[in-house]
Structure 1
């Protein structure tokens, strides 16, 4: 049976501030639905993505800002970073991992600059939303077999 990741819940403090931030990234607003004072769902989708994020009121018991390692796949890490910076987002410098495989939690093992061989899956940049939820841009130019 096929299963597709459709939605990721992102815990936020201020729904309108988060909505403005993600719309400022150029993400499509799919829904903003409230059912009284205690329940509101906002859904946005990054350009080209089949998966959306949702946040709101009465939606999650997770601590605002506790999401980390949310990946956005791009084909050109430097262009994607520049676009976000141009939209006013504070994005860290492009990096690759010292081990050459996948980045580690936090900043351990980060080496400045893109992967020296520009291998697919090997270059990253990170940013956070206003609550501190952590996002990672990952450059993928060629998918592994079966992907």
Structure 2
């Protein structure tokens, strides 16, 4: 069951962290069934970086979304958080409708695209949600949501052109 991606053809590399930098590297998720979660995230096309059964009662699984510098980790003995307690985990996509079609084709139950009445970020929960993409498909304005089998909540946000400095 132990595996780690050390193939330079598939493993993503990044430059070393420079003095004064802080990079978001890993988000820890609480799951109730490690193998079910691993299967779910792999079905999304996420790269399996590691599956390490370290010792009895301690297993670490790491996966990375395509194009992301940040990974997720879950496993046995990794966190004391309640399974499914993460919400607002956000992924950026270039085309929200294309991303939705891909997730649906992979068997994921995903919301229709939505935007917030303010035209800015989105309110908590479903408050202020308007059906459909943001007017003019404005960058940062269109979202959709899905959950993993434990209920950890993910959002996808459409961004075609990033703000300066991002």
TM range (shorter): over 0.9
Corresponding position of 1:71: 90
Q: Deviations over 1:14-56 (max 9, x none)?
A: 0000000000000000000012221000000000001000000
The 5 A counterparts of 1:125-136 are: 125-136=144-155
Corresponding position of 2:57: 38
Partner secondary structure for residue 5 of structure 1:
coil
**Offset of 1:3 from its aligned partner?**
1.0
Corresponding position of 1:62: 81
1: distance between equivalents of 2:161 and 2:116? Answer: 18
**TM norm structure 2:** 0.87
2: distance between equivalents of 1:37 and 1:135? Answer: 30
Corresponding position of 2:129: 110
Which runs of 5 or more structure 1 residues have no equivalent in the other structure? Answer: none
**Offset of 1:104 from its aligned partner?**
1.0
**Offset of 1:64 from its aligned partner?**
0.3
1: distance between equivalents of 2:104 and 2:124? Answer: 23
2: distance between equivalents of 1:51 and 1:5? Answer: 6
Which runs of 5 or more structure 2 residues have no equivalent in the other structure? Answer: 1-19
Question: In the comparison of the two structures, how many residue pairs are matched?
Answer: 147
Select which of 118, 140, 143 maps to 2:159: 140
**Offset of 1:57 from its aligned partner?**
0.4
Corresponding position of 1:4: 23
**TM norm structure 1:** 0.99
- Which of these two proteins has the greater Rg computed from alpha carbons? 2
Partner secondary structure for residue 12 of structure 1:
coil
